[in-house]
Amino acid sequence: MEKLSIEAIIKKIEHEERFYAVSDDYSFTLKIDSYVHYVCSAIHDGHQFRTELWENCLHTEYERWYEEDPATKAMIATHPIVIAGCDSRFEYDLNRPPEEAIFETAWGKQLWKQPLPEAMKAKSLQKHTNFYKVVSALIKKIEEKYNGCIVFDMHSYNWQRWNREVPTWNIGTSNIDNKRFGTLVEAWRNRLSQIQLPHKIAQTAKVNDTFQGNGYFLKYITHSFKNTLVLATEIAKIYGDEYHQVIYPEVVEAVADQLETHIPEQASNFLKYI
Protein backbone atom coordinates (compact mmCIF):
# COMPACT_ATOMS: atom_id res chain seq x y z
CA MET A 1 0.00 0.00 0.00
CA GLU A 2 1.10 3.54 -0.70
CA LYS A 3 -0.04 6.97 0.50
CA LEU A 4 -1.35 9.15 -2.34
CA SER A 5 -2.96 12.54 -2.76
CA ILE A 6 -6.49 12.74 -4.12
CA GLU A 7 -5.10 14.11 -7.38
CA ALA A 8 -2.64 11.21 -7.70
CA ILE A 9 -5.37 8.63 -7.01
CA ILE A 10 -7.62 10.16 -9.67
CA LYS A 11 -4.76 10.28 -12.16
CA LYS A 12 -4.03 6.60 -11.61
CA ILE A 13 -7.69 5.78 -12.19
CA GLU A 14 -7.78 7.82 -15.38
CA HIS A 15 -4.68 5.96 -16.64
CA GLU A 16 -6.13 2.58 -15.55
CA GLU A 17 -3.22 1.86 -13.24
CA ARG A 18 -3.43 -0.88 -10.65
CA PHE A 19 -2.66 0.24 -7.10
CA TYR A 20 -3.52 -0.03 -3.43
CA ALA A 21 -3.46 3.27 -1.60
CA VAL A 22 -4.58 5.21 1.41
CA SER A 23 -5.48 8.84 0.84
CA ASP A 24 -2.90 11.26 2.15
CA ASP A 25 -5.30 12.41 4.88
CA TYR A 26 -5.79 8.74 5.89
CA SER A 27 -9.55 8.98 5.45
CA PHE A 28 -10.13 6.08 3.02
CA THR A 29 -8.40 3.27 1.16
CA LEU A 30 -8.80 2.16 -2.44
CA LYS A 31 -7.51 -1.06 -3.95
CA ILE A 32 -7.69 -1.72 -7.68
CA ASP A 33 -6.21 -5.05 -8.73
CA SER A 34 -7.94 -4.91 -12.11
CA TYR A 35 -10.51 -2.70 -13.79
CA VAL A 36 -13.52 -4.99 -13.63
CA HIS A 37 -17.12 -3.86 -13.96
CA TYR A 38 -17.96 -4.09 -10.25
CA VAL A 39 -16.93 -2.25 -7.10
CA CYS A 40 -17.16 -3.30 -3.46
CA SER A 41 -17.47 -0.62 -0.80
CA ALA A 42 -17.42 -0.48 3.01
CA ILE A 43 -17.87 3.20 3.74
CA HIS A 44 -18.74 2.76 7.44
CA ASP A 45 -15.96 0.29 8.24
CA GLY A 46 -13.76 3.01 9.75
CA HIS A 47 -13.30 3.71 13.44
CA GLN A 48 -10.69 6.50 13.44
CA PHE A 49 -11.67 9.59 15.40
CA ARG A 50 -9.12 12.36 15.39
CA THR A 51 -7.74 13.34 18.78
CA GLU A 52 -8.76 17.00 18.69
CA LEU A 53 -12.39 15.84 18.85
CA TRP A 54 -12.05 13.48 21.81
CA GLU A 55 -12.48 15.89 24.72
CA ASN A 56 -15.53 17.54 23.19
CA CYS A 57 -17.35 14.29 22.33
CA LEU A 58 -20.11 13.04 24.63
CA HIS A 59 -20.32 9.59 23.05
CA THR A 60 -17.97 6.89 24.28
CA GLU A 61 -15.64 4.90 22.06
CA TYR A 62 -18.00 1.93 22.42
CA GLU A 63 -21.07 3.99 21.46
CA ARG A 64 -19.28 5.03 18.28
CA TRP A 65 -18.23 1.45 17.48
CA TYR A 66 -21.79 0.25 18.05
CA GLU A 67 -23.14 2.47 15.25
CA GLU A 68 -20.30 1.76 12.80
CA ASP A 69 -20.01 -1.25 10.48
CA PRO A 70 -16.94 -3.10 11.77
CA ALA A 71 -15.46 -5.90 9.65
CA THR A 72 -17.45 -5.02 6.53
CA LYS A 73 -14.23 -4.32 4.65
CA ALA A 74 -12.88 -7.74 5.67
CA MET A 75 -15.95 -9.36 4.11
CA ILE A 76 -15.09 -7.96 0.66
CA ALA A 77 -11.32 -7.48 0.87
CA THR A 78 -10.37 -10.08 -1.77
CA HIS A 79 -12.34 -8.49 -4.62
CA PRO A 80 -10.57 -6.57 -7.40
CA ILE A 81 -11.88 -3.08 -6.53
CA VAL A 82 -12.49 -2.19 -2.88
CA ILE A 83 -13.05 1.28 -1.44
CA ALA A 84 -13.45 1.68 2.31
CA GLY A 85 -13.70 4.47 4.85
CA CYS A 86 -11.13 4.76 7.63
CA ASP A 87 -12.80 7.45 9.74
CA SER A 88 -15.73 7.01 12.09
CA ARG A 89 -19.09 8.22 10.86
CA PHE A 90 -19.19 10.24 14.11
CA GLU A 91 -16.61 12.60 12.58
CA TYR A 92 -18.47 12.81 9.27
CA ASP A 93 -20.84 10.37 7.65
CA LEU A 94 -20.04 9.37 4.08
CA ASN A 95 -23.57 8.05 3.70
CA ARG A 96 -25.15 11.46 4.26
CA PRO A 97 -25.06 14.56 2.06
CA PRO A 98 -22.45 17.20 2.96
CA GLU A 99 -24.97 19.46 4.70
CA GLU A 100 -25.96 16.59 7.02
CA ALA A 101 -22.66 14.71 7.26
CA ILE A 102 -21.53 16.17 10.59
CA PHE A 103 -23.84 15.14 13.41
CA GLU A 104 -25.06 17.42 16.17
CA THR A 105 -26.99 14.57 17.73
CA ALA A 106 -26.45 10.88 17.03
CA TRP A 107 -29.07 8.21 17.74
CA GLY A 108 -30.98 10.43 20.14
CA LYS A 109 -28.02 11.72 22.13
CA GLN A 110 -26.23 15.05 21.84
CA LEU A 111 -22.80 14.43 20.30
CA TRP A 112 -20.74 17.49 21.29
CA LYS A 113 -20.31 19.25 24.63
CA GLN A 114 -19.82 22.49 22.71
CA PRO A 115 -20.73 23.18 19.06
CA LEU A 116 -17.88 22.29 16.72
CA PRO A 117 -15.86 25.26 15.44
CA GLU A 118 -16.30 25.89 11.72
CA ALA A 119 -12.61 25.11 11.08
CA MET A 120 -13.06 21.60 12.49
CA LYS A 121 -16.21 21.06 10.44
CA ALA A 122 -14.39 22.22 7.31
CA LYS A 123 -11.56 19.74 7.90
CA SER A 124 -14.02 16.87 8.08
CA LEU A 125 -16.13 18.03 5.15
CA GLN A 126 -13.02 18.23 2.95
CA LYS A 127 -12.51 14.52 3.53
CA HIS A 128 -16.12 13.90 2.52
CA THR A 129 -15.60 15.97 -0.65
CA ASN A 130 -12.36 14.18 -1.50
CA PHE A 131 -13.95 10.76 -1.14
CA TYR A 132 -16.71 11.60 -3.59
CA LYS A 133 -14.24 13.07 -6.08
CA VAL A 134 -12.55 9.66 -6.18
CA VAL A 135 -15.85 7.75 -6.30
CA SER A 136 -16.93 9.87 -9.26
CA ALA A 137 -13.67 9.28 -11.12
CA LEU A 138 -13.81 5.54 -10.42
CA ILE A 139 -17.40 4.96 -11.58
CA LYS A 140 -16.85 7.20 -14.61
CA LYS A 141 -13.86 5.08 -15.67
CA ILE A 142 -15.74 1.81 -15.23
CA GLU A 143 -18.79 3.05 -17.14
CA GLU A 144 -16.49 4.19 -19.95
CA LYS A 145 -14.99 0.69 -20.16
CA TYR A 146 -18.12 -1.42 -19.72
CA ASN A 147 -21.04 0.96 -20.31
CA GLY A 148 -22.13 0.17 -16.76
CA CYS A 149 -21.07 -0.73 -13.24
CA ILE A 150 -22.52 -2.60 -10.27
CA VAL A 151 -21.59 -1.51 -6.74
CA PHE A 152 -21.91 -3.77 -3.71
CA ASP A 153 -22.47 -1.23 -0.92
CA MET A 154 -21.80 -3.26 2.24
CA HIS A 155 -23.16 -2.26 5.66
CA SER A 156 -24.18 -3.88 8.92
CA TYR A 157 -26.86 -3.17 11.48
CA ASN A 158 -27.61 -3.86 15.13
CA TRP A 159 -30.27 -6.53 15.01
CA GLN A 160 -30.79 -6.85 18.76
CA ARG A 161 -32.24 -3.36 19.09
CA TRP A 162 -35.29 -4.41 17.04
CA ASN A 163 -38.36 -5.66 18.90
CA ARG A 164 -39.27 -8.08 16.11
CA GLU A 165 -37.62 -10.76 14.04
CA VAL A 166 -35.31 -9.23 11.45
CA PRO A 167 -33.40 -10.77 8.52
CA THR A 168 -29.74 -11.71 8.44
CA TRP A 169 -29.49 -9.73 5.19
CA ASN A 170 -31.42 -6.71 3.98
CA ILE A 171 -31.26 -5.07 0.54
CA GLY A 172 -32.47 -1.47 0.29
CA THR A 173 -33.96 -0.60 -3.10
CA SER A 174 -36.18 2.48 -2.71
CA ASN A 175 -33.82 4.71 -4.73
CA ILE A 176 -32.82 2.44 -7.60
CA ASP A 177 -34.60 1.68 -10.88
CA ASN A 178 -36.58 -1.36 -9.75
CA LYS A 179 -38.38 -1.71 -13.07
CA ARG A 180 -35.01 -2.16 -14.78
CA PHE A 181 -33.13 -4.01 -12.07
CA GLY A 182 -35.81 -5.77 -10.00
CA THR A 183 -34.86 -9.20 -11.33
CA LEU A 184 -31.24 -8.59 -10.33
CA VAL A 185 -32.29 -7.53 -6.85
CA GLU A 186 -34.24 -10.75 -6.39
CA ALA A 187 -31.28 -12.77 -7.68
CA TRP A 188 -29.03 -11.05 -5.14
CA ARG A 189 -31.53 -11.65 -2.34
CA ASN A 190 -31.65 -15.32 -3.28
CA ARG A 191 -27.85 -15.60 -3.29
CA LEU A 192 -27.59 -14.00 0.14
CA SER A 193 -30.23 -16.37 1.51
CA GLN A 194 -28.03 -19.32 0.53
CA ILE A 195 -24.95 -18.23 2.50
CA GLN A 196 -24.19 -20.78 5.22
CA LEU A 197 -22.94 -19.49 8.58
CA PRO A 198 -21.47 -21.24 11.62
CA HIS A 199 -23.23 -21.77 14.97
CA LYS A 200 -26.61 -22.43 13.32
CA ILE A 201 -27.08 -18.73 12.63
CA ALA A 202 -30.42 -18.20 10.90
CA GLN A 203 -30.02 -17.36 7.24
CA THR A 204 -32.69 -15.05 5.83
CA ALA A 205 -32.56 -12.29 3.24
CA LYS A 206 -35.26 -9.69 2.58
CA VAL A 207 -35.78 -6.51 0.57
CA ASN A 208 -36.62 -3.20 2.30
CA ASP A 209 -37.36 -4.88 5.62
CA THR A 210 -35.13 -3.01 8.08
CA PHE A 211 -33.65 -0.38 5.73
CA GLN A 212 -34.82 0.95 2.40
CA GLY A 213 -31.61 2.10 0.73
CA ASN A 214 -31.79 5.83 1.47
CA GLY A 215 -28.05 6.41 1.88
CA TYR A 216 -26.26 9.27 0.15
CA PHE A 217 -23.62 6.96 -1.35
CA LEU A 218 -26.30 5.07 -3.27
CA LYS A 219 -28.20 8.23 -4.20
CA TYR A 220 -25.08 10.08 -5.36
CA ILE A 221 -23.94 7.28 -7.66
CA THR A 222 -27.45 6.49 -8.93
CA HIS A 223 -28.17 10.12 -9.79
CA SER A 224 -24.75 10.73 -11.34
CA PHE A 225 -24.43 7.54 -13.42
CA LYS A 226 -27.39 6.16 -15.32
CA ASN A 227 -25.92 2.71 -16.00
CA THR A 228 -24.67 1.95 -12.49
CA LEU A 229 -26.61 -0.17 -10.03
CA VAL A 230 -25.87 0.15 -6.32
CA LEU A 231 -26.97 -2.77 -4.16
CA ALA A 232 -27.21 -1.42 -0.59
CA THR A 233 -26.57 -4.64 1.32
CA GLU A 234 -26.89 -4.84 5.12
CA ILE A 235 -25.85 -7.78 7.24
CA ALA A 236 -27.18 -8.04 10.79
CA LYS A 237 -24.34 -8.04 13.30
CA ILE A 238 -24.69 -11.76 13.84
CA TYR A 239 -20.92 -11.85 13.20
CA GLY A 240 -20.23 -10.42 16.65
CA ASP A 241 -21.59 -9.42 20.03
CA GLU A 242 -22.85 -5.89 19.53
CA TYR A 243 -23.29 -5.33 23.29
CA HIS A 244 -19.76 -6.38 24.27
CA GLN A 245 -17.74 -5.07 21.29
CA VAL A 246 -16.61 -8.51 20.15
CA ILE A 247 -16.18 -9.66 16.53
CA TYR A 248 -16.45 -13.37 15.66
CA PRO A 249 -13.71 -13.88 13.03
CA GLU A 250 -14.93 -17.34 12.03
CA VAL A 251 -18.29 -15.85 11.01
CA VAL A 252 -16.67 -12.94 9.17
CA GLU A 253 -14.46 -15.41 7.32
CA ALA A 254 -17.45 -17.56 6.37
CA VAL A 255 -19.22 -14.53 4.92
CA ALA A 256 -16.11 -13.41 3.05
CA ASP A 257 -15.44 -16.87 1.62
CA GLN A 258 -18.94 -17.18 0.18
CA LEU A 259 -19.16 -13.60 -1.07
CA GLU A 260 -15.96 -14.35 -2.97
CA THR A 261 -18.12 -16.53 -5.23
CA HIS A 262 -21.49 -14.80 -5.04
CA ILE A 263 -20.36 -11.24 -5.80
CA PRO A 264 -18.59 -11.92 -9.13
CA GLU A 265 -21.40 -14.24 -10.22
CA GLN A 266 -23.97 -11.54 -9.45
CA ALA A 267 -21.79 -9.00 -11.27
CA SER A 268 -21.64 -11.27 -14.31
CA ASN A 269 -25.45 -11.38 -14.43
CA PHE A 270 -25.53 -7.57 -14.33
CA LEU A 271 -23.83 -7.36 -17.73
CA LYS A 272 -27.03 -8.67 -19.35
CA TYR A 273 -28.90 -5.54 -18.26
CA ILE A 274 -26.64 -2.87 -19.75
**What's the mean pLDDT in 216-242?**
98
User: In the prediction, which pLDDT does 163 show?
Assistant: 93
Does residue 205 surpass a pLDDT of 90? yes
**What's the mean pLDDT in 73-84?**
98
| Model confidence band, residue 273 (pLDDT cutoffs 50, 70, 90) | confident
Does residue 210 surpass a pLDDT of 90? yes
| Model confidence band, residue 21 (pLDDT cutoffs 50, 70, 90) | very high
**Exposed, middle or buried by CB within 10 Å (0-12, 13-18, 19+), for 108?**
exposed
* CA-to-CA separations, 177 to 68, 124, 194, in angstroms, rounded: 28, 32, 25
User: Taking all residues of the chain, what is their mean pLDDT, rounded to a whole number?
Assistant: 97
| Model confidence band, residue 227 (pLDDT cutoffs 50, 70, 90) | very high
**What's the mean pLDDT in 169-176?**
98
Query: What are the start-end ranges of the H helices in 147-248?
Result: 178-193, 216-224
User: In the prediction, which pLDDT does 274 show?
Assistant: 83
User: In the prediction, which pLDDT does 11 show?
Assistant: 98
**What's the mean pLDDT in 238-252?**
97
